[in-house]
Amino acid sequence: MLKIENVNYKYNKNFEANNISNINITVKKRECVLLCGRSGSGKTTITKLMNSLIPNYYEEGCLEGRVLLNKTDTQKSEIYEVSKIVSSVFQNPKTQFFNVNTTSEILFYLENRGFDRDYMQKQLDETAKLLDIKYLLDRDIFQLSGGEKQIIAIAAACASGAEIILLDEPSSNLDEAKTKAIGEILKKLKNIGKTIIISEHRFYYIKDIIDKVYFIESGKIKNSFTKDEFFNIDNETRKQLGLRSILFENLKYKTSNNNKNKQLVIENINHKFNNQNRALKINNKGFEFGSIVGIYGKNGIGKSTLVKIIMGLQKSKKVKISIDGKTLSKRKRLKNSYLVMQDVNHQLFTESVKTEAGLGMAKKYTEENLNNVLKKLNIYDLKENHPMSLSGGQKQRVAIASAILSGANLIFFDEPTSGMDYDNMMKISGLIKETINDNIIIFIISHDHEFLNNTVDEIFPIENFSI
């Protein structure tokens, strides 16, 4: 159905080295194929070949070889013809939304194709029934959680009628429940005959549907596995390949009992969510300086809101936060805080990685410190590259470098390992643990059990909208 034959590609034809080399992939009808490998290995580039974004949107690049879709060379096809067969779901669904209303978004492709109202209604009804998403219809997209937005993107791909659904790390920012929900949706799509291609770092939720696995390293296919071969890889080999946990890893809940250090104390937070019958309530909860705290809970429960309140970014009437009995004003909390956002595209401003990482660098740090952080995060060789030219995981590491070098006392990370392989996840974990001292508290919002188990001193769970 889809075949990549002897493909070499580089994003700039003037460059000597290829971004991917000698790529040969065959995807049969109704198969589920997984692309895995370290961040920046070439997985996303391969997906862009499959949906014809390359070469159509990358005019400076150089492509050798062929990509065949139903035996037709995609280089000889218009991109709209490819889109009839291949529908894409991006890592960040917000980047592909064109509507505010969820129903309009699901039908957007069909409407642009000029289908009549009756056919569009039929597709909508069938998709909503199949995926069990009637509760998401006619909703404001901006009011949805990250997981719900991802489901809408998959629903739009399903409603389009495309035979192949191509997903780029669909679970990267999702909690356990939503990740498993995505897995169930993909299983339903495969059962009705869809061909599914997934680039992913998490594997447990798609174990039941995978047929074939391609392992990508340094722009080349280093190995291919059957389902059984892949899920029986031993832990040591898996780590050597830079792969995340192949099976589901339970979260190890930890609490801090040491009260020797000074503490940041949330004496009171009682935050009412707009237009919702729920509130975030926290009383007399202390966090020790010198500790790393994991903030854990399902999508949409209020983890990011809690962090914004602590930082002083979120307006809330009933808030009292102190250090050693001294109440901190919102302005003082903000001055001593640094946030690495979930969508790091919002905080990358300069034209090189090195300039970006050093933009708000504390006076106590030197250029040597800056270079060492870049090396530890495996982005030193990219120091002259534009941050927006990097992969999602590489961008994340640039923002983390900025946080570490900022000198802030309260450092917050919102899903710092989204889109990261095992090696870089462990490097982030190690660097965070190296950064901590008795004058810093690091808060980490994360659904990544493997990362939290390796990194934090305490898990602070948010459940049922209050604590």
465 pLDDT higher than 70:
no
pLDDT of residue 428: 85
Q: In this structure, what CATH number is given to the domain that contains residue 439? A: 3.40.50.300
- On whether both 235 and 289 belong to a single domain, the answer is no
pLDDT of residue 184: 93
Strands 72-73 and 441-445: unpaired
**Domain count of the chain?**
2
Could you report the per-residue pLDDT of 440-455, keeping only the tens digit for each? 999 999 989 999 999 9
User: What value does the mean pLDDT take over residues 1-25?
Assistant: 92
138 burial type by CB count under 10 A (0-12 exposed, 13-18 middle, 19+ buried): exposed
Whether 420 contacts 39, CB under 8 Å: yes
- On whether both 277 and 314 belong to a single domain, the answer is yes
- On whether both 317 and 199 belong to a single domain, the answer is no
Q: What string of DSSP letters covers 152-192? A: HHHHHHHHTT-SEEEEESTTTT--HHHHHHHHHHHHHHHHT
The answer as to whether 36 is a domain residue is yes
C-alpha closest to that of 263 among 209, 309, 328, 354: 328
Whether 431 contacts 373, CB under 8 Å: yes
The answer as to whether 252 is a domain residue is no
Could you report the per-residue pLDDT of 307-324, keeping only the tens digit for each? 999 999 988 878 999 998
pLDDT of residue 464: 57
The answer as to whether 256 is a domain residue is no
- On whether both 304 and 223 belong to a single domain, the answer is no
- On whether both 234 and 269 belong to a single domain, the answer is no
The answer as to whether 21 is a domain residue is yes
- Which residue among 207, 241, 275 closes a domain? 241
Could you report the per-residue pLDDT of 54-83, keeping only the tens digit for each? 999 888 899 999 999 999 999 888 999 999
Query: Could you give the 3-state DSSP secondary structure of residue 335?
Result: helix
226 pLDDT higher than 70:
yes
What's the rounded Cα separation, in Å, for the pair 437 and 289? 8
Q: Helix 117-131 vs helix 176-191: angle between axes, to the nearest 10 degrees?
A: 120
Could you report the per-residue pLDDT of 398-454, keeping only the tens digit for each? 988 998 899 899 999 988 887 788 988 898 898 888 888 888 999 999 989 999 999
- On whether both 345 and 461 belong to a single domain, the answer is yes
User: What value does the mean pLDDT take over residues 196-208?
Assistant: 93
Tell me which of 146-150, 214-218, 364-368 is least confident: 146-150
447 burial type by CB count under 10 A (0-12 exposed, 13-18 middle, 19+ buried): buried
Angle at 192 between CA 191 and CA 193, to 5 degrees: 90
What's the rounded Cα separation, in Å, for the pair 273 and 318? 13
CA contacts within 13 A on the Cβ side of 384? 1
- Which residue among 211, 241, 271 closes a domain? 241
The answer as to whether 86 is a domain residue is yes
In the chain, pLDDT over 70 holds for what percent of residues?
98
- On whether both 171 and 210 belong to a single domain, the answer is yes
175 pLDDT higher than 60:
yes
Q: What's the pTM value of the predicted model, to 2 decimals? A: 0.81
Residue 372 has a CB neighbour count (10 Å cut-off) of: 13
State whether the Cα torsion 309-314-320-323 is positive or negative: positive
The DSSP output letter for 300 is T
Whether 261 contacts 245, CB under 8 Å: no
In the chain, pLDDT over 90 holds for what percent of residues?
63
pLDDT of residue 257: 62
Average pLDDT for the chain: 90
pLDDT of residue 402: 93
